Structure 1
Amino acid sequence: MKYLKYLFLPIIALVIGITASCERDDLCPESTPTTPSLIIDAFDIDNQEDSKNVFGLLIAGVENENVLPGYAVVTTNNIILPLKTTEDTTQYQLIQDYSINDNGTPDDTSDDFAEGNQDIITINYTREEVYVSRACGYKTIFKDVTVSIDNDTDNWIQLIQPVNNPQSVEDETATHFNLFH
Structure 2
Amino acid sequence: MKNLKFIILTVIIAFVAFLSCERDDICSDDTSTTSRLFIQFYNSANTENVKNAFKLRIQGVGNEEVLSDYNIVTANSIYLPLKTTETSTQFVLHKDYVLNDDGTTEGNADTITINYATELEYVSKACGYKTVFENVTISVEDDGDKWIDYILSATDNEPISNEDEAHFNLYH
TM-score, scaled to structure 2: 0.86
Provide, for residues 55-88 of structure 1, a one-character-per-residue CA deviation record: whole Å limited to 9, x for no partner.
0000001111310121111101011101000100
How much does 1:23 deviate?
A: 2.8
Q: Is the aligned partner of 1:22 residue 2:20?
A: yes
How many residues are paired up? 156
What SS does the aligned partner of 2:84 have? coil
Q: Which residue does 2:149 correspond to in 1?
A: 158
How much does 1:167 deviate?
A: 3.5
Q: Comparing 19-28 with 153-162, which one deviates more in the overlay?
A: 19-28
Percent of aligned positions that are identical: 48
Q: Comparing 23-32 with 117-126, which one deviates more in the overlay?
A: 23-32
How much does 1:44 deviate?
A: 0.4
How much does 1:24 deviate?
A: 4.3
Structure 1 unaligned spans of 5+: 1-18, 103-110
Q: Which amino acid aligns with 1:140?
A: T
Q: Which residue does 1:174 correspond to in 2?
A: 165
Q: Which amino acid aligns with 2:111?
A: I
What SS does the aligned partner of 2:159 have? strand
Task: Please give the alpha-carbon distance, in whole angstroms, between the structure 2 residues aligned to 1:67 and 1:29.
Answer: 28
Provide, for residues 95-153 of structure 1, a one-character-per-residue CA deviation record: whole Å limited to 9, x for no partner.
00001122xxxxxxxx3211110000000000000000001000000000000001111
Task: Please give the alpha-carbon distance, in whole angstroms, between the structure 2 residues aligned to 1:31 and 1:120.
Answer: 33
| Residue in structure 2 matching 1:119, options 87, 95, 110 | 110
Structure-to-structure mapping, 1:75-90, within 5 angstroms: 75-90=74-89
Following superposition, which runs of at least 4 residues in structure 1 exceed 4 angstroms of deviation? none
Task: Please give the alpha-carbon distance, in whole angstroms, between the structure 2 residues aligned to 1:168 and 1:148.
Answer: 18
Q: Which residue does 1:60 correspond to in 2?
A: 59
Structure 2 unaligned spans of 5+: 1-15
Q: Is the aligned partner of 1:148 residue 2:139?
A: yes
Task: Please give the alpha-carbon distance, in whole angstroms, between the structure 2 residues aligned to 1:134 and 1:68.
Answer: 30
Q: Which residue does 1:7 correspond to in 2?
A: none
Root mean square deviation, CA, Å: 1.7
Task: Please give the alpha-carbon distance, in whole angstroms, between the structure 2 residues aligned to 1:29 and 1:23.
Answer: 13
TM-score, scaled to structure 1: 0.82
Task: Please give the alpha-carbon distance, in whole angstroms, between the structure 2 residues aligned to 1:23 and 1:80.
Answer: 34
